[in-house]
């Protein structure tokens, strides 16, 4: 691969701000960009300026993923800065809001702007290393030409260029200030990436770039946006999905101080007001009736769990094979077959920042400016264009940071943006739509309930020679992303991923998805399919180990013998926790889990205090490959553990008559601070390329706790949450 530089007529870069920018081409090469306002893209126009260096020696690094608290606004720029040899104290980062040239996107997500499923670091790692290294190479060549020396004689150290034989040196900012830089000409081969031994930024706990502004309150979320002439919108939403409103009277609402307008949409009634409290009060004063024809009026979560269990046990039910290894004609009906069934209930995302969006539609109704916290800028722009019946180039999009997302702010944030656009177009004003917590809980897009049936054919020693994992669940894809749903293959990775059990040597293995009709709105939740699937498998394996007269560690060690990385995290967790030696009155439970390429083992220490389950300590050994920012990664793992723990103790959404029964945090109750265990996270360095950290804490937690409870009480825990039953 080669790098082509612009021709001589396009090399001037000091017009305007005097910034020096580098663009990583979609082909992987790098071009030097003029920074003047109105400068045209180079080559075929598919370029992206990742690095900008100004004469005051500030380095700005752009990142394409969305910042939602996970720290990509630091970790992604760290990758570029490492290969650039930048001085981290001079680095700032900037989130990309739009990508008209299609070059900022995540390679793991088909090249769109998208952050979900722990894909940011894994997707961008190599790409951004190349961007930083090649930008550094260009700096070296410019400095070499300025000094009249060869590029091989120029070195870089922490934002400085040096020519040791002459003692000359320049900062990167001084290169940007050169009056007539000698640009590299012709073709330039790829820069050699730094060996890991030379890294000084990757793998260190540099200061997070987003924390100072969050600490002072300077960070702007979309809910903070305030525009001239803007009105606030509160919505009266349908009690049951799919119902439409009839406005009987809005006189009382319109008479309220601050209310500006009442607008009827086909799915809601909105009150526009000069303040959000006034809009809420106006909603309360509306007289609205709703159709009662929705098929979901008969939906009940208790009935759904029964139907899922029946579907999992019905061997004549149509099932989609997700994974198959070995003999596909194994008989799972013999006397040597052991069966276990496991259930997980619906859960709600409970992100702390209320769902919201701000939109200002153009006078012609065919364009708009939007402020939104979203996990996919690209998808949001496309949805906005579809709502207005226009083209993406008419959408001026501002991606903001988010106060939590966990899957709820991918394409699933489209409701607020859609309504902000419709209301702005109807009213001729900028509109901010905010959902209350009650709106969000009652209209949540939930992780589906699942029922798992596992069947194992055992050998004489009690080890499975064949294992089948049947998952009964509705499809997330079919509802939430119908454009990605293939009705012929019917493969839903958001439900089934993690059911592969690829690290285990079961001999014959089959995972299959028994699809049932949905009863509620559905979406991905932190840990996606890995969390329910690992819960069922790891609880089942612990029960099999006990049946075989083995211990959980020895049993898994034999089944994981062909996976050195799996054995490494298993052994590390055993050593960390002194597994098998629980304090008196307590028990330890263990679970091996994965999330894509990340492997982990978790150990929980539990007891019962005054009849309530208490998790005292949790140890996690993680092999995520290379860790970019250890502090942020640990925080992600710890957050995932707490998500898993909360789903064990209490979290669940239930519904009856098509309406979610919970409404706020008093009846949909996450864990409290007093319930947080001591946590210890240890990295096991395999040297593999980096993989995700945002999800891995969830899949290992519930089964580790369940296995500890079974050890303590003798009763298998096969239902999440433990203390709730439909």
Q: Are 279 and 234 in contact (CB under 8 A)?
A: yes
**Is 100 found in the same domain as 24?**
yes
Burial class (CB in 10 A: 0-12, 13-18, 19+), 457: buried
Q: Are 462 and 549 in contact (CB under 8 A)?
A: yes
- Eight-class DSSP state of 504: S
**Each residue's pLDDT tens digit, 261-309:** 999 999 999 999 999 999 999 999 999 999 999 999 999 999 999 999 9
Read off the pLDDT of each residue in 216-230 and give the average, rounded to a whole number: 95
**Is 481 found in the same domain as 382?**
no
- 408: in domain: yes
- The pLDDT value recorded for residue 108 is 84
**Is 280 found in the same domain as 199?**
no
d(CA 112, CA 362): 26
Burial class (CB in 10 A: 0-12, 13-18, 19+), 442: buried
- 51: in domain: yes
Q: How far is CA 713 from the centre of its chain?
A: 36
- 578: in domain: yes
Strands 231-236 and 20-24: what pairing?
A: unpaired
pLDDT higher than 70, residue 30? no
Q: At 673, is the pLDDT very low, low, confident or very high (cuts 50, 70, 90)? A: very high
- The pLDDT value recorded for residue 179 is 77
Strands 49-53 and 20-24: what pairing?
A: antiparallel
**Each residue's pLDDT tens digit, 192-201:** 799 999 999 9
Question: What b/e sequence results for 51-86 when a residue is b if at least 16 CB atoms lie within 10 Å of its CB, and e otherwise?
Answer: bbbbbebebbbbbbbbbbbbbbbbbbbbbbbbbbbb
Other C-beta atoms closer than 10 Å to the C-beta of 43 total: 14
- 441: in domain: no
**What CATH number is given to the structural domain containing 12?**
3.30.365.10
d(CA 360, CA 369): 5
d(CA 65, CA 72): 7
pTM for the whole structure:
0.92
- The pLDDT value recorded for residue 425 is 98
Last residue of a domain, one of 182, 215, 248: 215
Tell me what percent of the residues of the chain surpass a pLDDT of 70.
Answer: 91
The mean of the pLDDT values for the chain is 89
d(CA 235, CA 443): 12
Q: At 412, is the pLDDT very low, low, confident or very high (cuts 50, 70, 90)? A: low
Q: Which two tokens stand for residue 93?
A: 């980062």
Read off the pLDDT of each residue in 362-379 and give the average, rounded to a whole number: 94
**Is 683 found in the same domain as 540?**
yes
pLDDT higher than 90, residue 479? yes
Last residue of a domain, one of 434, 460, 489: 434
- The pLDDT value recorded for residue 582 is 97
**Is 374 found in the same domain as 452?**
no
d(CA 387, CA 457): 53
The tokens 């209930």 sit on which residue? 345
Read off the pLDDT of each residue in 39-52 and give the average, rounded to a whole number: 41
Other C-beta atoms closer than 10 Å to the C-beta of 315 total: 12
20-24 β-sheet, strand order: 30-33, 20-24, 49-53, 59-63, 91-95
d(CA 607, CA 49): 55
**Is 81 found in the same domain as 103?**
yes
Say how many CA atoms lie within 13 Å of 84 toward its Cβ: 27
In this predicted structure, which of 3-17, 232-246, 626-640 has the lowest mean pLDDT? 3-17
d(CA 35, CA 173): 14
Does residue 325 or residue 65 have the better pLDDT? 325
Read off the pLDDT of each residue in 443-459 and give the average, rounded to a whole number: 97
d(CA 286, CA 269): 9
Angle, to 10 degrees, between the axis of helix 564-577 and the axis of helix 552-559? 170
Dihedral sign computed on CA atoms, order 237, 418, 669, 521: positive
**Is 342 found in the same domain as 368?**
no
H/E/C letters for each residue in 184-247? CCCEEECCCCCCHHHCCCCCCCCCCCCHHHHHHCCCCEHHHCCCCCCEEEEEECCCCCCCCEEE
CA-derived radius of gyration, the chain? 28
Domain count, the chain: 3
pLDDT higher than 70, residue 47? no
Return the closest-CA partner of residue 301 out of 521, 490, 537.
521
Last residue of a domain, one of 382, 409, 434: 434
Q: Which residues touch 209 (CB under 8 Å, ≥6 apart)?
A: 73, 74, 77, 91, 92, 93
pLDDT higher than 70, residue 669? yes
Give the domain range for residue 667.
Answer: 301-347+446-720
d(CA 631, CA 205): 6
d(CA 417, CA 459): 57
Burial class (CB in 10 A: 0-12, 13-18, 19+), 162: middle
- The pLDDT value recorded for residue 178 is 82
**Is 368 found in the same domain as 516?**
no
Q: How far is CA 664 from the centre of its chain?
A: 24
> 30 to each of 4, 84, 664, how far by Cα in Å?
7, 13, 51
Read off the pLDDT of each residue in 46-72 and give the average, rounded to a whole number: 80
**Is 664 found in the same domain as 584?**
yes
d(CA 78, CA 64): 13
**Is 102 found in the same domain as 57?**
yes
- 439: in domain: no
- 428: in domain: yes
- 465: in domain: yes
Other C-beta atoms closer than 10 Å to the C-beta of 112 total: 17
- The pLDDT value recorded for residue 464 is 97
- 635: in domain: yes
pLDDT higher than 70, residue 43? no
**Is 241 found in the same domain as 206?**
no
**Is 185 found in the same domain as 88?**
yes
> 68 to each of 148, 300, 398, how far by Cα in Å?
47, 33, 15
- The pLDDT value recorded for residue 447 is 96
Q: Which residues touch 224 (CB under 8 Å, ≥6 apart)?
A: none
**Each residue's pLDDT tens digit, 341-366:** 999 999 999 999 999 999 999 999 99
**Each residue's pLDDT tens digit, 485-505:** 999 999 999 999 999 999 999
């Amino acid at each position: 691969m080669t790098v082509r530089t612009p021709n001589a007529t396009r090399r001037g870069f000091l017009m305007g701000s005097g910034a020096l920018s580098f663009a990583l081409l979609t082909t992987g090469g790098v071009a030097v960009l003029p920074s003047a306002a109105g400068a045209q893209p180079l080559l075929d126009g598919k370029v992206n300026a990742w690095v900008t260096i100004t004469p005051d020696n500030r380095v700005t690094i752009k990142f394409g993923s969305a910042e939602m608290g996970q720290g990509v606004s630091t970790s992604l720029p760290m990758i570029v800065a490492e290969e650039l040899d930048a001085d981290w104290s001079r680095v700032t980062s900037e989130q990309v809001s739009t990508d008209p040239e299609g070059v900022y996107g995540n390679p793991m997500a088909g090249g769109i702007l998208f952050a979900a499923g722990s894909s940011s670091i894994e997707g961008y790692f190599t790409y951004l290393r190349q961007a930083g290294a090649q930008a550094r190479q260009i700096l070296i060549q410019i400095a070499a030409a300025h000094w009249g020396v060869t590029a091989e004689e120029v070195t870089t150290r922490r934002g400085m260029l040096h020519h040791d034989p002459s003692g000359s040196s320049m900062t990167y900012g001084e290169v940007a200030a050169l009056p007539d830089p000698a640009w590299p000409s012709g073709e330039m081969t790829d820069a050699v990436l730094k060996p890991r031994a030379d890294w000084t930024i990757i793998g260190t706990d540099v200061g997070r770039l987003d924390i100072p502004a969050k600490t002072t309150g300077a960070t702007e979320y979309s809910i903070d946006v305030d525009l001239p002439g803007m009105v606030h919108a509160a919505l009266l939403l349908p009690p049951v999905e799919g119902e439409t409103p009839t406005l009987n009277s809005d006189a009382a609402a319109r008479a309220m101080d601050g209310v500006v307008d009442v607008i009827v949409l086909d799915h809601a009634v909105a009150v526009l007001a000069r303040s959000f409290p006034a809009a809420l009060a106006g909603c309360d004063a509306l007289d609205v009736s709703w159709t009662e024809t929705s098929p979901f009026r008969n939906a009940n979560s208790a009935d759904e769990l029964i139907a899922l269990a029946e579907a999992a046990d019905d061997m004549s039910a149509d099932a989609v094979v997700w994974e198959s290894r070995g003999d596909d004609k194994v008989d799972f009906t013999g006397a040597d077959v052991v069966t276990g069934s496991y259930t997980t209930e619906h859960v709600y995302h409970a992100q702390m920042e209320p769902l919201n969006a701000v939109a200002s539609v153009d006078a012609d109704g065919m364009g708009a400016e939007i402020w939104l916290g979203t996990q996919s800028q690209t998808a949001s722009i496309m949805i906005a264009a579809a709502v207005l019946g226009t083209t993406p180039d008419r959408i001026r999009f501002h991606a903001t940071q988010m106060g939590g997302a966990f899957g709820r702010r991918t394409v699933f944030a489209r409701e607020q943006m859609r309504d902000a656009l419709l209301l702005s177009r109807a009213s001729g004003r900028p509109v901010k739509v905010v959902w209350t917590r009650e709106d969000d809980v009652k209209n949540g897009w939930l992780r589906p309930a699942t029922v798992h049936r596992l069947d194992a054919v055992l050998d004489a020693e009690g080890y499975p020679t064949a294992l089948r994992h049947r998952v009964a669940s509705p499809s997330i894809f079919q509802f939430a992303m119908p454009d990605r749903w293939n009705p012929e293959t019917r493969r839903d990775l958001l439900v089934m991923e993690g059911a592969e059990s690829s690290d285990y040597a079961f001999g014959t293995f089959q995972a299959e998805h028994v699809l049932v009709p949905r009863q509620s709105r559905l979406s991905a939740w932190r840990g996606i399919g890995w969390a329910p699937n690992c819960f069922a498998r790891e609880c089942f394996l612990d029960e099999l180990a006990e049946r075989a007269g083995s211990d959980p560690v020895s049993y898994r060690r034999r089944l994981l013998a062909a996976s050195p990385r799996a054995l490494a995290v298993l052994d590390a967790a055993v050593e960390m926790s002194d597994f098998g030696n629980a304090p008196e009155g307590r028990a330890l439970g263990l679970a091996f889990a994965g999330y894509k390429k990340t492997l982990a083992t978790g150990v929980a220490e539990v007891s019962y205090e005054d009849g309530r389950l208490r998790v005292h300590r949790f140890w996690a050994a993680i092999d995520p490959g290379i860790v970019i920012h250890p502090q942020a990664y640990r925080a992600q793992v710890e957050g995932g553990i707490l998500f898993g723990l909360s789903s064990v103790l209490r979290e669940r959404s239930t519904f009856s008559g098509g309406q979610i029964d919970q409404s706020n945090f008093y009846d949909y109750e996450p864990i409290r601070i007093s319930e947080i265990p001591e946590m210890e996270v240890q990295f096991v360095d395999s040297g593999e390329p980096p993989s995700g950290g945002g999800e891995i804490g969830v899949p290992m937690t519930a089964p580790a706790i369940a296995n500890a409870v079974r050890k303590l009480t003798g009763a298998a825990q096969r239902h999440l949450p433990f203390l709730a039953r439909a």
